Structure 1
């Protein structure tokens, strides 16, 4: 696969300004391992206060992709879109300086749990958070990205992250993180 877009490069080199919360485990450090059962439920996210925009009323959009399908050494199906969540708003900061991203009751593209095939080595599941442009809503996201009401697996394959960011008018990624999972 060619070079990753800047947003993914930043997430892979992240200083973990994004935390991923699964029932029973909080993923803090970029590149740590999670088991398939740990990462199966849809995660919630929290972002470092230093990564948030200061203007009131800002909403955020999160995208998750698998960079390594079906195998890291032969990733011809990648990236695969694993989820897209929008209309996220900051909650109450915790003592560690992280703010939960809340709202956006449903994932626009529902979370697809990790599923690397045997005997694959670990896959990298990357999460990116962007400031959501004010005019962006579910209908505009679906139209811009040509997403059906129900996004099937075939529409998730060969995801072009850089193209999606341009079509949605997203700026620089504010925070990112990733974990590894293997079969």
Structure 2
């Protein structure tokens, strides 16, 4: 059993374990390693993300939390933290940012949340005209997101790479909530 299956990422977020892993490293010096525990403070800034990319191919990257408000009661599953499409190779910075990066921010006393990164190879350049563009200054349009349904809508198939970490509340979370207008 893989870590994604062991921690319920399959089937809560995706249907199958991706063949490849995403390398994710944060400016704080921590890396994501299939369910390791990181703090919101450690992951507050945009990470560097790499996966086995093919020349000329375009990709979509998503980071999502299926455990909102908690793993036991995920009534707002999923709350997506980052969504970037039309990424050429691994150059996330030059992709089409649909949802700006928001680090982990589990509410107090809700236990560990899973933060799942998945990458899909796109069939070609996609037009995201109907998809709202989200800043990292608001919680609007982030809850109730399903990467499975999004992938289906845009004919992305199954994810080609994935990884995840877990986090729970720390002293940085109130600062994040204030940034998002949720404090």
Bin of the TM-score, shorter chain as denominator length: 0.7 to 0.9
Q: 2:88: which partner in 1?
A: 89
Which residue is 2:27 aligned to? 23
Count of residues paired in the alignment: 160
User: Partners of 1:149 and 1:179 in 2: how far apart?
Assistant: 23
CA contact (8 A) 2:111 2:168 kept: yes
- Report if aligned partners of 2:13, 2:66 keep a CA contact under 8 Å in 1: no
Q: Which runs of 5+ in 1 are unaligned?
A: 91-99
Tell me how far apart the structure 2 counterparts of residues 159 and 83 of structure 1 sit (CA, whole Å).
11
Aligned residue number for residue 62 of structure 1: 61
Aligned-residue CA RMSD (Å): 2.6
How far the C-alpha of 1:40 sits from its partner, in A, is 0.6
| Residue 107 in structure 1 maps to residue 97 in structure 2 | yes
User: Is contact 1:80–1:157 with CA below 8 Å preserved after alignment?
Assistant: yes
CA apart distance, 1:20: 1.0
Q: Any idea what SS the aligned residue of 1:39 has?
A: coil
1:107: how far off? Answer: 2.9
1:155-175 CA-partner distances (Å, limit 9, x unpaired) = 111112221001112122110
Q: Secondary structure at the match of 2:148?
A: helix
Q: Using structure 2 for the length normalisation, give the TM-score.
A: 0.76
> How has the CA–CA distance of structure 1 residues 5 and 33 changed in structure 2, closer, same or farther, with 3 Å as cutoff?
closer
Gaps of 5+ in 2: 1-10, 170-183
